């Protein structure tokens, strides 16, 4: 069963039995069932695992079945492993926050396959995962014909070159998962220094990689790992920092959040990411929007998110137009939104001008949001210029953990206030997702003249602000 003594807790109400176990197997933890400490320990264990659906007994039965078949099979080991149909999904960046506590347990409990011999303090994994400019973090999930093995590994890389954590569960011993993982990491980061881990990046032909961004794969993992979640009431749309806001706000169980998979999985780049440019066409209607939305406007200040649009077109027409249409969508559909706008002042190294993000654009786009949001009661602005210091920003579009926690706290306050005061059920998108902006234009023409005049004035003011700046 590959069960190690240090992973066993022995409970008994007979002190002689407890002492005998301590003497024969000192690595086993023991508890006297007659003490209050025993009840407290079991209550704590139940609380820590209340959302976990997997059974350890089931895991060991899977191991026993595979070991039995491998011993009785006439196939060579590699062919037997190929027949197992082993599949692996690597979970990247903020998606790991849902599993942060489990990852810490894996790091601290694993010995034989802890190739970096690392240990962590409580909360350390959440902070490491959230520090996206310093670390790339991956958790490893495995399943095969014998069943679902679950979270079996974790790798953390510092600046794409040094391996900080590389640890696996003994449940996948002799399956080649660690070699497969190292090969994948080396493929993603060719400059990665793998000399510090005693694992060879040997190609493993009997393992098939699966994308966590595939709906079926993601659903399988969450279904097997956690109790069923209620329909999300909140979506956090801040690209690669969305998960940190969900996690640190304590709203992860009520929220869905975006990630930035396109860097590693171009085929799925639209699945879980919102871009403001979607409001240039009907693309916005293809995404799911719960009743409450948190949008990191700073994401779309970069040119790369506006393909085929010149700087002049973006700043004079496309951007202010999309802001108006976003706000109109929020208001017309009965939703509510919190829009996060970035710092405007920072040292030059923290302003990525190579991406089109300049001091002038930061001030101009922020001014557009402040001005237009005034016309919509359902849209509120979280202005980082009022809560953040330059030192808390890694750059004007990426934030340190302390600043992410500030944002998360304010997000939670806003969510609580809206949940209590604005219990409005949002209207479905007309046509059940088939609505496009032509229909919105028709609806706009049917509004009263005063509203149309107000919209024209807002757009003119936005263009005027650009010229003034």
Does position 124 have pLDDT exceeding 80, yes or no? yes
Q: Decide which of 232 and 445 is more confident.
A: 232
CATH 1.10.3210 is the classification of domain 229-468 = no
Q: Which residue has the tokens 């509203």?
A: 451
Helix axes 449-468, 319-332, angle to 10 degrees: 140
Containing H/E element for 398? strand 398-399
Residue with tokens 């005998």: 20
How many whole angstroms separate alpha carbon 97 and alpha carbon 220? 17
Residue 47 has pLDDT above 90, yes or no: no
Residue 50 has pLDDT above 60, yes or no: no
**DSSP conformational letter for 119:** -
pLDDT of residue 268: 40
Mean pLDDT, residues 158-167? 91
What pLDDT is stored for residue 225 in this prediction?
84
* Torsion angle of C-alpha atoms 53, 58, 63, 67, degrees rounded to 10: -150
Cα gap 385→359, rounded to integer Å: 13
Kindly write down the DSSP assignment for every residue of 365-398, as one continuous string: HHHHHHHHHTT-TTEEEEEGGGT--GGGEEETTE
Q: Which residue has the tokens 């919509």?
A: 376
Q: What is the pLDDT of residue 265?
A: 42
The rounded distance, in Å, linking the Cα atoms of 334 and 175 is 51
pLDDT tens per residue across span 328-353? 999 999 999 999 999 998 999 999 99
* Predicted pLDDT of residue 266: 40
Dump pLDDT digits (tens) for 210-255. 999 888 898 899 888 876 667 889 999 999 899 999 999 999 888 9
User: d(Cα 227, Cα 29) in Å, to the nearest integer?
Assistant: 29
User: What is the reported pTM?
Assistant: 0.71
Helical ranges in 73-113 per DSSP H = 77-83, 100-109
Residue 435: band (very low, low, confident or very high) from pLDDT cuts 50, 70, 90? very low
For the chain, the average pLDDT equals 84
How far apart, in whole angstroms, are the C-alpha atoms of residue 260 and residue 398?
Answer: 13
437 vs 43 pLDDT, higher one: 43
Burial class of 175 by CB neighbour count within 10 A (0 to 12, 13 to 18, 19+): buried
- pLDDT for res 400: 95
CATH of region 56-218, choose from 1.10.1510, 3.40.630, 3.40.50, 1.10.3470: 3.40.630
Fold identical between 56-218 and 229-468?
Answer: no
- Helices 449-468 and 359-373, axial angle in degrees (round to 10): 160
Name the pairing type of β-strands 207-211 and 147-158. unpaired
Residue 455 has pLDDT above 90, yes or no: no
Q: Where are the domains of the chain?
A: 5-48, 56-218, 229-468
User: Residue for token digits 């190579």?
Assistant: 354
Residue 14 has a pLDDT of 87
In the chain, % of residues over pLDDT 90: 59
- At 377-406, the pLDDT tens digits run 999 999 999 999 999 999 999 999 999 999
Kindly tell me if the per-residue pLDDT of 8 is higher than 60: yes
What are the CA-CA distances from residue 310 to residues 274, 297, 316, 397, 467 (Å)? 21, 19, 10, 21, 17
| Full DSSP string of 202-227 | ---TTEEEEETTSHHHHHHHHHHHBP
Rounded Cα distance between 363 and 361, Å, is: 5
Cβ distance 239 to 260 under 8 Å?
yes
State how far the Cα of 200 lies from the Cα of 186, in Å rounded to an integer.
11
């Amino acid at each position: 069963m590959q069960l190690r003594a240090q992973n066993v807790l022995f409970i008994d109400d007979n002190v002689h039995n407890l002492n005998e176990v301590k003497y024969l197997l000192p690595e086993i933890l023991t508890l006297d069932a007659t003490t209050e400490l025993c009840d407290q320990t079991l209550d704590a264990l139940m609380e820590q695992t209340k959302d976990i659906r997997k059974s350890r007994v089931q895991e060991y039965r899977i191991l026993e079945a595979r070991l039995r078949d491998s011993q009785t099979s006439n196939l060579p080991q590699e062919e037997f492993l190929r027949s197992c149909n082993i599949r692996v999904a690597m979970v990247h960046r903020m998606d790991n926050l849902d599993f942060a506590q489990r990852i810490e347990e894996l790091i601290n409990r694993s010995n034989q396959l802890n190739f970096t011999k690392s240990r962590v303090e409580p909360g350390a994994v959440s902070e490491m995962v959230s520090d996206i400019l310093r670390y790339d973090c991956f958790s490893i999930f495995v399943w095969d014909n014998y069943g679902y093995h679950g979270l079996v590994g974790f790798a953390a890389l510092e600046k794409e070159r040094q391996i900080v954590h590389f640890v696996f569960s003994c449940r996948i011993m002799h399956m080649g998962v660690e070699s497969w993982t190292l090969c994948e990491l080396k493929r993603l980061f060719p400059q990665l220094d793998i000399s510090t881990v005693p694992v060879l990046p040997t190609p493993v032909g009997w393992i098939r990689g699966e994308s966590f961004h595939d709906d079926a794969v993601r659903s399988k993992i969450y279904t097997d790992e956690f109790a069923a979640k209620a329909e999300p009431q909140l979506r956090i749309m801040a690209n690669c920092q969305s998960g940190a806001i969900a996690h640190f706000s304590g709203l992860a169980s009520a929220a869905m959040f975006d990630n930035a998979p396109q860097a590693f999985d171009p085929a799925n780049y639209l699945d879980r990411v919102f871009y403001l440019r979607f409001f240039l066409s009907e693309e916005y209607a293809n995404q799911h929007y719960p009743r409450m939305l948190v949008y990191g406007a700073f994401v779309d200040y970069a040119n790369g998110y506006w393909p085929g649009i010149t700087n002049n077109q973006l700043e004079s027409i496309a951007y202010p137009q999309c802001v108006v249409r976003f706000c109109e969508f929020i208001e017309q559909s009965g939703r509510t939104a919190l829009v996060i706008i970035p710092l405007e002042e920072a040292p030059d190294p923290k302003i990525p001008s190579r991406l089109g993000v300049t001091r002038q654009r930061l001030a101009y786009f922020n001014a557009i949001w402040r001005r237009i949001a005034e016309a919509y009661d359902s849209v509120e602005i979280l202005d980082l210029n009022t809560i953040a210091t330059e030192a808390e920003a890694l750059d004007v579009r990426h934030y340190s953990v302390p600043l992410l926690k500030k944002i998360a706290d304010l997000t939670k306050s806003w969510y609580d206030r809206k949940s209590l005061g604005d219990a409005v059920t949002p209207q479905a998108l007309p046509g059940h997702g088939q609505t496009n902006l032509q229909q919105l234009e028709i609806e706009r023409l049917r509004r009263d003249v005063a509203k149309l005049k107000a919209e024209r004035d807002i757009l003119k003011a936005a263009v005027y602000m650009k010229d003034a700046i």
